[in-house]
Amino acid sequence: MKKTDNFLMGADIGSSSCKISIVDDTGRILAYGNTDYFAETKKEGWAEQNPDVWFQAFKSSVRQCLKESRIPPSKIYALSVCGPAHNAVLLDKNNEVLRPAILWWDQRSTHQSDWLLKKFGRTIFKTTLQPVHPSWTLAQLLWIKENEPYIFKKIHRIIIGKDFITYRLTGSWQTDWYDAMGTQLFNGKAKKWSKEICRILNLPVKCLPPVLNSLDIAGHVTPCASIETGLPVGLPVAVGSGDSVVEAFGVAAVEPMDCLVKLATTGTVSVVTAKQHPSKKAMSYFHVIPDLFYTITATNSGASSAQWFYKTFHDNAKDSYETMEQLAEKVAPGSEGLIFHPYLKGERSPYWDPDLRADFIGISHTHKKQHFIRAVFEGVAFSLRDCMELIRSMDIPIKRTFLVGGGARIKLWRQITSDILATRLHIPKVPSLYVATYGAALLAGLASGVFSSLKEITKIAGKSDETIKPDPNYADQYEKTYTVYKEITRNLQPIYKKLKNIYSGQKSIK
């Protein structure tokens, strides 16, 4: 049966903004919406956001999309929401938010993470298939229990960020397999909440949501939500999934050995696999597609490193990221011996060390602003190389690699990433900033029946705009520099721990 007027909406509740796209049933994007917000950083290493800010941004982005597309709301056929893992929202008995959500890069629970690793590390990894780290909901909840016991006692429901938006739209409470894994409270093999892990916190399992397939329909937009958002009453909302795997879905990375390099706020190298690959240095998730899995290696500071540099050192209001690229293009590969490590928020793969910090190494009087900019681009790419090497060490084969994320908009950065990874990169036709929203929209289409099969999705989404090839002229130089990059990290790890001990003033858990 021929489909007509089936418009789909995809939303991405990101770390710094809510993005939304409207897509038609041919895969063409008709409109974008983008509303920025910021993380609260009350203390060093903290990062929080008020979930209500997400919903306000969602409403604003919906209005932008509807206005730009001029599509009547009644023509929107289905919706799906994605977002980062680990961003848990705590609700009381009245389903009111108890406190701001602790974000995935928050490092406050370092001591709790150390204690969990020492006391229960083997059990936690065996059960959850994830390494113990402050990024996970488990360690964050332990911090809340110890530092805000009055909040912990009031927890009635725990809901992940993207599911909070779905809850506000439909009144339904659930999550998917991917985000359940991201809490580190889920038994990854038995595919159910772990009573054993919950007992560590003395947390009732009933506080955790039902777990559904990403392609299930979670619920339908309520009359109240319709008034707030302008979306039609009864609009189906798919369960959806985490942003990283939805981006993979959006570029048709849906077969084993498909790889996705993400140059966004965070940076990741992820591979679709036919079986689970648990590792204490990587993250193991379920793919959107049943019976497939998703192995993720991640660097905490990806494109956010360039954003940090821009905001910190660019005084001229006329400066822009394009200006940064133009300056960096004047510098030869290697930045004349200047090396940047992007550990602004500690680091995950492969070090899993929250105490690591960013640095510039090799500064001389000849280095100018443009050298530092190029060093930032290269440093993030070296960190992604660390992630790629971890994937390779796990004997996970890679067939084709896609590059997505806001940083991929910068042509020079794309080439640097290809050179340092020594990998050919396919650039999707979908604008880099909106790959997650595009994937969410297509997921909503498959969940609601607009698309009849995964094969139909791959025909729409599996198109590349260009292919970036590594430049062989710089291969040897970058290989040697990467060796030095790793050596510096190893040598500075104990130094950063000493600095933390001097300045943190935190006490150990008894």
| Same-fold call for 7-243 versus 252-429+471-502 | yes
Band of residue 4 on the pLDDT scale cut at 50, 70, 90: low
* pLDDT tens digits, one per residue of 54-67: 999 999 999 999 99
Query: Domain coordinates of the chain in residue numbers?
Result: 7-243, 252-429+471-502
Domain 252-429+471-502 has CATH 3.30.420.40: yes
Q: Residue 431 has which token pair?
A: 């604008």
| Residue 506 confidence (pLDDT) | 53
**Angular region, 422: left φ>0, alpha ψ -120 to 50, beta rest:** left
Cα separation, 387 vs 373, whole angstroms = 22
Triad 331, 303, 160: Cα angle to 5°: 170
- Tell me the residue type at 37: Y
> 211-212 and 175-176: which strand pairing?
parallel
Contact 175, 211 (CB under 8 A): yes
Band of residue 432 on the pLDDT scale cut at 50, 70, 90: confident
Contact 348, 385 (CB under 8 A): no
Q: Tell whether the model's pLDDT for residue 231 goes beyond 80.
A: yes
Triad 448, 449, 455: Cα angle to 5°: 120
Q: Calculate mean pLDDT across residues 452-457.
A: 90
> 339-341 and 359-361: which strand pairing?
antiparallel
Q: Tell whether the model's pLDDT for residue 447 goes beyond 50.
A: yes
- Tell me the residue type at 45: G
For the chain, the average pLDDT equals: 94
- Per cent of the chain over pLDDT 70 is 97
* pLDDT tens digits, one per residue of 303-317: 999 999 998 987 654
| Integer-rounded Cα radius of gyration of the chain | 22
Where b means 16+ CB within 10 Å and e means fewer, 412-447 reads: bbbbbbbbbbebebbbbebbbbbbbbbbbbbbbbbb
Where b means 16+ CB within 10 Å and e means fewer, 355-379 reads: bbbbbbebeeeebeebbbbbbbbbb
* pLDDT tens digits, one per residue of 279-311: 999 999 999 998 999 999 999 999 999 999 998
Contact 73, 30 (CB under 8 A): no
Domain 7-243's class? alpha beta
Alpha-carbon torsion (241, 247, 252, 254), positive or negative: negative
Q: Which residue has the tokens 């730009």?
A: 68
> DSSP state, 507?
P
Alpha-carbon torsion (279, 281, 286, 289), positive or negative: negative
* pLDDT tens digits, one per residue of 463-489: 777 899 999 999 999 999 999 999 999
Q: Residue 111 has which token pair?
A: 């001591």
| Residue 123 confidence (pLDDT) | 97
